[in-house]
Chains A and B, each alone.
Chain A
Amino acid sequence: MTLWLALALMTAAAIFAVLWPLGRRTAAAGGSDIAVYRDQLDEIARDRTSGLIGEAEAEAAKVEVSRRLIGAADVADADKSASGRSPLWRRRATAIAGLVLLPVGTTALYLAIGSPQLPGQPLAARMAAVQQDRSLQTLIGQVEAHLERNPNDARGYEVIAPVYLRLGRFSDAVNARRKLLALSGETAERQADLGEALAAAGNGVITVEAKAAFERALVLDPADLKAKFFIGVAAEQDGDKPKAAAIWTGMLKDAPPDAPWAPVVRESLVRVGVTPPSPTAPPIAGMAAPSASDVAAASGMSEQDRGDMIRGMVARLADRLKEDGNDLEGWQRLLRAYMVLGDRDKATAAAGDAKKALAGNPDKLRQIGDTIKSMGL
Chain B
Amino acid sequence: MIPELGHYALVLALALGIVQAVAPLIGALQRDTALMRLATSTAIMQFVFVALSFAALTACYVTSDFSVVNVIENSHSMMPLIYKFTSVWGNHEGSMLLWVLILAMFGASVAAFGGNLPTTLKANVLAVQSWIACTFYLFILLTSNPFLRVAQPPFEGRDLNPILQDIGLAVHPPLLYLGYVGFSISFSFAIAALIEGRIDAAWARWVRPWTLAAWMFLTVGIAMGSYWAYYELGWGGFWFWDPVENASLMPWIAGTALLHSAVVMEKRNALKVWTLLLAILAFSLSLIGTFLVRSGVLTSVHTFASDPSRGVFILMILIFFIGGGLALFAWRAPLLKQGGLFAPVSREGALVFNNLFLTTACLTVFVGTLYPLALEAVTGEKISVGAPFFNLTFGPLFIPLMFVMPFGPLLAWKRGDVLGVAQRLMAAFAIGLIAIAASFAAMGMSSVLAPFGIGLAFYVMAGSLVDLVERTGLFRMPMATVRARAAGLPRSVWGTALAHFGMAVTLLGIVCATTWGEERIVALKQGQSVTLSGYDLRFDGMVQRTGPNFRELAATFTAGSGGVAIGAMEPSKRSFVARNSSTSEAALLTRGFSQLYLSLGDVNEDGSVAIRVYFKPLVLLIWLGSLVMALGGALSLSDRRLRVGAPKPAKKSAAKPSTLQPAE
| Bound CA span A262–B554, Å | 51
B520 in the interface, Cβ–Cβ < 8 Å? no
The 8 A CB mask of A41-69 against B (1 = contact, 0 = none) is 10110110010111011101101110110
| Bound CA span A123–B116, Å | 49
| Bound CA span A149–B142, Å | 38
| Bound CA span A90–B122, Å | 20
A13 in the interface, Cβ–Cβ < 8 Å? yes
Q: Which of B9, B149, B549, B641 contacts A115 (CB 8 A)?
A: B149
B122-A121 in contact (CB<8A): no
B645-A65 in contact (CB<8A): yes
B155 in the interface, Cβ–Cβ < 8 Å? yes
For window 86-130 of A, CB contacts with B under 8 Å fall at: 86-87, 90-91, 94, 97-98, 102, 105-106, 109-110, 113-116, 118-124, 126
CB neighbours (8 Å) of B149 from chain A are 115, 118
The closest CB in chain B to the CB of A3 belongs to: B1
The closest CB in chain A to the CB of B648 belongs to: A53
A113-B141 in contact (CB<8A): yes
| Bound CA span A84–B119, Å | 11
| Bound CA span A294–B646, Å | 95
- How many residue-residue contacts, CB under 8 A, span A and B? 234
| Bound CA span A165–B66, Å | 29
The closest CB in chain B to the CB of A103 belongs to: B15
Please tell me the size bucket of the interface on A: 35 or more
A287 in the interface, Cβ–Cβ < 8 Å? no
A11 in the interface, Cβ–Cβ < 8 Å? yes
A14-B647 in contact (CB<8A): no
For window 568-611 of B, CB contacts with A under 8 Å fall at: 577
The 8 A CB mask of B78-95 against A (1 = contact, 0 = none) is 100000000000000000
Measured between C-beta atoms, what is the minimum distance from B512 to chain A in Å? Answer: 38
Q: Which of B147, B551, B654 contacts A54 (CB 8 A)?
A: B654
Q: Knowing A40-B642, A85-B30, A120-B67 touch, does A68 contact B269 (C-beta < 8 A)? A: yes
B25 in the interface, Cβ–Cβ < 8 Å? no
Q: Is the interface of A mostly helix, strand, loop or mixed?
A: helix
CB neighbours (8 Å) of A119 from chain B are 1, 67
B173 in the interface, Cβ–Cβ < 8 Å? no
Measured between C-beta atoms, what is the minimum distance from A88 to chain B in Å? Answer: 10
Please tell me the size bucket of the interface on B: 35 or more
CB neighbours (8 Å) of B119 from chain A are 28, 30, 83
B117 in the interface, Cβ–Cβ < 8 Å? yes
A304 in the interface, Cβ–Cβ < 8 Å? no
B31-A18 in contact (CB<8A): no
Q: Knowing A7-B5, A28-B36, A123-B66 touch, does A56 contact B657 (C-beta < 8 A)? A: yes
A148 in the interface, Cβ–Cβ < 8 Å? yes
CB neighbours (8 Å) of B1 from chain A are 2-3, 6, 119-120
B382 in the interface, Cβ–Cβ < 8 Å? no
CB neighbours (8 Å) of A33 from chain B are 118, 200-203
Q: Which of B34, B42, B654 contacts A86 (CB 8 A)?
A: B34
The closest CB in chain B to the CB of A14 belongs to: B12
Most buried by A among B33, B41, B485, B577: B33
B341 in the interface, Cβ–Cβ < 8 Å? no
CB neighbours (8 Å) of A159 from chain B are none
A54-B33 in contact (CB<8A): no
CB neighbours (8 Å) of B202 from chain A are 33, 36-37, 72
CB neighbours (8 Å) of A53 from chain B are 646-648
Q: Knowing A14-B45, A75-B198, A124-B63 touch, does A28 contact B33 (C-beta < 8 A)? A: yes
A52-B12 in contact (CB<8A): no
A167 in the interface, Cβ–Cβ < 8 Å? no
A21-B38 in contact (CB<8A): yes
B118-A82 in contact (CB<8A): no
Q: Which of B37, B41, B198, B643 contacts A28 (CB 8 A)?
A: B37
For window 606-664 of B, CB contacts with A under 8 Å fall at: 641-649, 654, 657, 660-662
A110-B11 in contact (CB<8A): yes
B400 in the interface, Cβ–Cβ < 8 Å? no
A39 in the interface, Cβ–Cβ < 8 Å? yes
Q: Knowing A21-B34, A47-B646 touch, does A151 contact B41 (C-beta < 8 A)? A: no
| Bound CA span A11–B14, Å | 12
Q: Which of A11, A114, A126 contacts B147 (CB 8 A)?
A: A114
A114-B8 in contact (CB<8A): yes
B376 in the interface, Cβ–Cβ < 8 Å? no
CB neighbours (8 Å) of A118 from chain B are 4, 67, 149, 151
For window 200-233 of A, CB contacts with B under 8 Å fall at: none
B77 in the interface, Cβ–Cβ < 8 Å? yes
A35 in the interface, Cβ–Cβ < 8 Å? yes
A250 in the interface, Cβ–Cβ < 8 Å? no
A297 in the interface, Cβ–Cβ < 8 Å? no
| Bound CA span A28–B114, Å | 13
A256 in the interface, Cβ–Cβ < 8 Å? no
Measured between C-beta atoms, what is the minimum distance from A263 to chain B in Å? Answer: 41
CB neighbours (8 Å) of B203 from chain A are 33
A281 in the interface, Cβ–Cβ < 8 Å? no
The closest CB in chain B to the CB of A94 belongs to: B23
A43-B33 in contact (CB<8A): no
A106-B546 in contact (CB<8A): no
Q: Which of B4, B45, B115 contacts A114 (CB 8 A)?
A: B4
CB neighbours (8 Å) of B657 from chain A are 56-57, 60
Measured between C-beta atoms, what is the minimum distance from A103 to chain B in Å? Answer: 8
Q: Which of A91, A97, A98, A123 contacts B65 (CB 8 A)?
A: A123
Measured between C-beta atoms, what is the minimum distance from B92 to chain A in Å? Answer: 17
The closest CB in chain A to the CB of B412 belongs to: A57
| Bound CA span A64–B267, Å | 10
A312 in the interface, Cβ–Cβ < 8 Å? no
B3 in the interface, Cβ–Cβ < 8 Å? yes
B38-A18 in contact (CB<8A): yes
Q: Knowing A14-B49, A57-B660 touch, does A50 contact B65 (C-beta < 8 A)? A: no
The closest CB in chain A to the CB of B654 belongs to: A54
B64-A122 in contact (CB<8A): yes
The closest CB in chain B to the CB of A29 belongs to: B115
Q: Knowing A28-B33, A43-B643, A120-B1 touch, does A54 contact B662 (C-beta < 8 A)? A: no
B49-A10 in contact (CB<8A): yes
For window 521-556 of B, CB contacts with A under 8 Å fall at: 546, 549, 551
A340 in the interface, Cβ–Cβ < 8 Å? no
The 8 A CB mask of B27-67 against A (1 = contact, 0 = none) is 00011111111101110110011001000000010011111
A301 in the interface, Cβ–Cβ < 8 Å? no
CB neighbours (8 Å) of A94 from chain B are 23, 34-35, 38
| Bound CA span A18–B43, Å | 10
Q: Which of B16, B118, B142 contacts A18 (CB 8 A)?
A: B16
B488 in the interface, Cβ–Cβ < 8 Å? yes
A373 in the interface, Cβ–Cβ < 8 Å? no
A21-B116 in contact (CB<8A): no
B433 in the interface, Cβ–Cβ < 8 Å? no
A60-B661, A116-B4 known; 14 new pairs, CB 8 Å cut-off, are A14-B12, A18-B38, A24-B37, A28-B33, A47-B644, A52-B488, A52-B648, A57-B646, A98-B19, A106-B11, A122-B60, A145-B156, A148-B577, A149-B78
What are 5 sample pairs from A and B whose C-beta atoms fall under 8 A apart? Answer: A22-B34, A22-B38, A43-B641, A72-B200, A119-B67
Q: Which 5 A-B pairs rank lowest in CB-CB distance, beginning with the nearest?
A: A30-B119, A33-B202, A122-B63, A31-B116, A17-B45
> A residues within 8 Å of B by Cβ?
2-3, 6-7, 10-11, 13-14, 17-18, 20-22, 24, 27-33, 35-37, 39-41, 43-44, 46-47, 50, 52-54, 56-58, 60-61, 63-65, 67-68, 71-72, 75, 79, 82-87, 90-91, 94, 97-98, 102, 105-106, 109-110, 113-116, 118-124, 126, 138, 141, 145, 148-149, 151-152
